[in-house]
Chain A
Amino acid sequence: MNSFVKVLAHKLFALSVLIGIGAWFLVLPAFTGHLGANPLDKLLHQSGEIAIWTLGSVLALTPLRVLFPHLRIVTALNRHRRAIGVTACIYGLLHFSFHVLYEGGLVGLVRSFSKPFIWFGAGGLTILVILAVTSNQLSIRTLGAKNWKRLHRLVYVAAAVLIYHQAIAGKGHLATARWLLFSLASLQLARLTKTLVWKKRPATSSPTAAQQVPLGPGPTGLGKSSHQSPESVLDRCQRSPRRRLPADENRRYFHPA
């Protein structure tokens, strides 16, 4: 279990999965002639599908972290959020380039922009590009942690717009989009509920938490720390010697959503 989590937390693991998906669904079929009679159409759809699910998975990670702060698999995977988010953007850009090719050049591309279906896709992707470009320490410093976090909350707008883009794409995509929306919405709802409940709750003891989580002092410095906000538990789980961040206060802003 320990080594499994270690593997999950490893950068190499994340990269190989993220690149592997593209290799498996786009590159391999292209080289083995398995793209069918309309290869570009296949690539267009596969890349879009990969992009939206990659985006969906990164959006699932934050709520999961709040809901299951002690689950080591969750914390391990949460280390890859930046990589997953940037990858979603890259697959989105790939999807867009296939669209350009599919339209057969500038005239077709311009014509395609007369459709709301395309606006939603392009709008969502534009947000993803802005977020991907600012997914680095320099941007956080330049913008300030608070602004950066605000900016990156746009990912929810992007997700909504892109899931709509997927939903109206036809051909059973409505069903897929519904599943994606349903899963993400329920996760967010559960997360918000938990956060609100924790915030409201006064400093009364919570025996189960105390028994299960002997984690030492919380951020308030209460030694017994039987009540911990998800944020504080989260901070602790996030804290690993290698990725320790300079200022305590800033740390939480590195987890944008």
Chain B
Amino acid sequence: MKSRRAARAWELPDSAVLAESQYLRRREFLRLVGYGLLASAILPPTMRAASAGFPDSLNPAFKLDGVKLTPEDSIASYNNFYEWGLAKEQPKELSNKGWKTEPWSIEIGGLCTNARKIDVNDLIKVVGGIERRNYRHRCVEAWSMVIPWEGFPLSKLVALAHPKPEAKYVKFTSFFDPEHCPGQRSNDLHWPYTEGLTLPEATNELAFVATGLYGKPLRNQNGAPIRLVVPWKYGFKGAKSLKKIEFVPEQPKTTWNELAPDEYGFYANVNPNVDHPRWSQASERVIGGGFFSGRQPTLMFNGYEKQVAHLYAGMDLRKNF
């Protein structure tokens, strides 16, 4: 444990950031649930997405001053979600053809004392609602976005699960539904998609579980209804449409690392000094810029060096890329 530190800008007391009154005013909440029930009765299924109707507010620690948010339309139409196809425009089209993400339950298990299977909406209630965070998003393909996510810190979920001392890693498993999912009928990758974090990474304040973006529940193509967001790592670490979160003793096999270990490391920390075999990671194209917008330099740990660098102290990042 660290001794007392000076509070950093983002370390506001919980009451300021996650004011309970703001999220869980009992009457308002009941009213929302009531509306929700009513809505589920009359609205078409697509409008009844999980996590709809939860109030959220921007966590001022993650406002990202002076950074322009990526247009919502771009975030919703430029997706690497291989379950739906290799091209970036495919997930938008193909994941919205009858694939149901509501109701959705997620399993929390492995080496923890409080294993459970829980509905996503219930999970949000249990962890105390959602907040908004603007995060930089850097794809391993050297493009980037800035995304206003809604969700809750992964650390809350970890705390809820009570991992046992033997648990050293957290394994994330996405859905598996080849019947609806054309990509999963091919052998491009080993399905279902799996990702992993070390336990200290998972409990870092930045690790986030997203259930929405731009004030709306996650769209199917963005990993509805619940996904991982690890902003200091390349985007592929953020497993989408999670079905299972497990605490495991050893480094889990992760999809991209298994497929091409020389291209995609387990850590996959954003690092401008360690190139991909086919392209430089020193700079990135910002989605939403024009033809002649050029590139911007990529920041170490995607600009989150202060928050996460200590996790890798003494580690050779060239080796453990």
B73-96 interface (Cβ within 8 A of A)? 73-74, 77-78, 86, 88-89
Stretch at the interface among B16-24, B106-114, B209-217, B289-297: B289-297
Shortest distance from the beta carbon of B99 to any chain A beta carbon, whole Å: 21
* Contact A105/B280 with A36-B78, A36-B89, A38-B285 known, Cβ cut-off 8 Å: no
Query: Distance in Å from the Cβ of B54 to the closest Cβ of chain A?
Result: 27
Cβ-neighbour of A36 out of B71, B77, B278 (below 8 A): B77
Indicate whether A168 reaches chain B with its CB closer than 8 angstroms.
Answer: yes
Q: Indicate whether B257 reaches chain A with its CB closer than 8 angstroms.
A: no
Instruction: Using A36-B77, A38-B287 as known contacts, say yes or no to A117 and B88 having CB atoms under 8 A apart.
Output: no
The answer to whether B277 and A39 touch across the interface, beta carbons within 8 angstroms, is no
Chain B 261-288 interface mask (CB, 8 Å, partner A; 1/0): 0000000000000010111101101011
Q: Secondary structure at chain B's binding surface: helix, strand, loop or mixed?
A: loop
Measured CB to CB, the nearest residue on chain A to B292 is A101
Q: Is B188 part of the contact surface with A, judged by Cβ < 8 Å?
A: yes
Q: Name the distance in Å between A68's Cβ and chain B's nearest Cβ.
A: 35
Q: Given the complex, which residues of A lie within 8 Å of B287, measured CB to CB?
A: 37-38
CB of B143 closer than 8 Å to a CB of A: yes
Inter-chain contacts of B88 with A (CB < 8 A): 36-38
- CB contacts (< 8 Å) of B71 on chain A: these are 37
Q: Judging by beta carbons under 8 Å apart, are A117 and B143 in contact? A: no
Identify which of B78, B86, B280, B283 contacts A38 (C-beta below 8 A).
B78
* B: contact size bracket: 20 to 34
- Distance in Å: Cβ of B183 to nearest Cβ of chain A: 10
Q: A115's closest neighbor in chain B, by CB?
A: B278
Q: Is there an interface contact between A104 and B78, defined as CB atoms closer than 8 Å? A: no
**Residues of chain B with a CB closer than 8 A to A168's CB:** 278
How distant is A47 from chain B, measured CB to nearest CB, in Å? 13
Asked if B294 and A37 sit within 8 Å, CB to CB, the answer is: no
- Assembly CA distance A169 to B74 (angstroms): 24
B295 and A108 contacting across the interface, CB-CB below 8 Å: yes
Q: How far is the CA of A171 from the CA of B88 in the complex (A)?
A: 10
Q: Is A40 an interface residue (CB 8 A)?
A: yes
Contact, CB under 8 Å: A108 / B77? no
CB < 8 Å neighbour of A108 from B74, B143, B280 = B280
Chain A residues near B282 (CB, 8 Å)?
A: 111
User: Contact: B278 with A170, CB < 8 Å?
Assistant: yes
- From B73, B275, B277, A37 is in contact (CB under 8 Å) with B73
Please tell me which one of the listed residues B143, B277, B288, B295 contacts residue A103 in the complex, with CB atoms under 8 A apart. B295
Interface mask (A178-214 → B, CB under 8 Å = 1, otherwise 0): 0000000000000000000000000000000000000
Q: A37-B288, A108-B295 are in contact. Are A114 and B78 (CB under 8 A)?
A: no
Q: How far is the CB of B246 from chain A (nearest CB, A)?
A: 29
**B contact residues around A116 at 8 Å (CB):** 277
With a cutoff of 8 Å between Cβ atoms, the chain A residues found around residue B143 in the complex are 38, 41
**Quick check: is A102 within 8 A (CB to CB) of the other chain?**
yes
CA–CA, A103 to B143, complex, Å? Answer: 11
Interchain CB contact under 8 A, B285 and A104: yes
Chain A residue numbers with a CB within 8 Å of B77 are 36-37
Chain B 131-172 per-residue mask, 1 if CB under 8 angstroms from chain A, else 0: 000000000000100000000000000000000000000000
CB distance from A116 to the nearest CB of B (A): 8
Known: A36-B78, A36-B89, A37-B78. A108 touches B283 (CB 8 A): yes
Check if B277 sits within 8 Å of A40, measured CB to CB: no
**A102-B285, A171-B86, A172-B188 are known contacts. Are A40 and B279 too (CB-CB below 8 A)?**
no
List residues of chain A with CB within 8 A of the CB of B275: 114-115
Known contacts A36-B88, A37-B77: A112-B288 contact under CB 8 Å: no
A37 touches B74 (CB 8 A): yes
CA A154 – CA B86 in complex, angstroms? 33
A117 and B278 in contact (CB under 8 A), knowing A101-B291, A104-B283? yes
A41 and B278 form a contact (CB under 8 A)? no
Chain A residues in 8 Å Cβ range of B86: 171-172
- Do B285 and A114 touch across chains, with their CB atoms under 8 A apart? no
A105's contact among B78, B291, B294, by CB below 8 Å, is which? B294
Among A40, A112, A170, contact of B285 (Cβ-Cβ < 8 Å): A40
Q: Which residues of B158-211 are within 8 A (CB) of A?
A: 188
| Distance to closest chain A CB from B5 (angstroms) | 39
Bound CA–CA A112/B281 (angstroms): 10
How distant is the Cα of A168 from the Cα of B263 in the complex, in angstroms?
12
Instruction: Please report the C-alpha to C-alpha distance between residue A104 and residue B295 in the assembled complex, in whole angstroms.
Output: 6
- Would you list the 6 A-B pairs with minimal beta carbon distance, nearest first? A104-B294, A37-B78, A37-B74, A104-B295, A117-B278, A172-B86
Q: A37-B77, A104-B283 are in contact. List 10 more A-B contacts (CB 8 A).
A: A37-B287, A38-B78, A38-B143, A39-B291, A40-B291, A108-B283, A111-B280, A112-B279, A117-B278, A170-B278
By a beta-carbon cutoff of 8 Å, the part of chain A in contact with chain B is 36-41, 101-105, 108, 111-112, 114-118, 168-172
A/B interface sample: 9 pairs, CB < 8 A = A37-B287, A38-B285, A103-B295, A104-B283, A104-B294, A108-B283, A112-B280, A117-B278, A172-B86
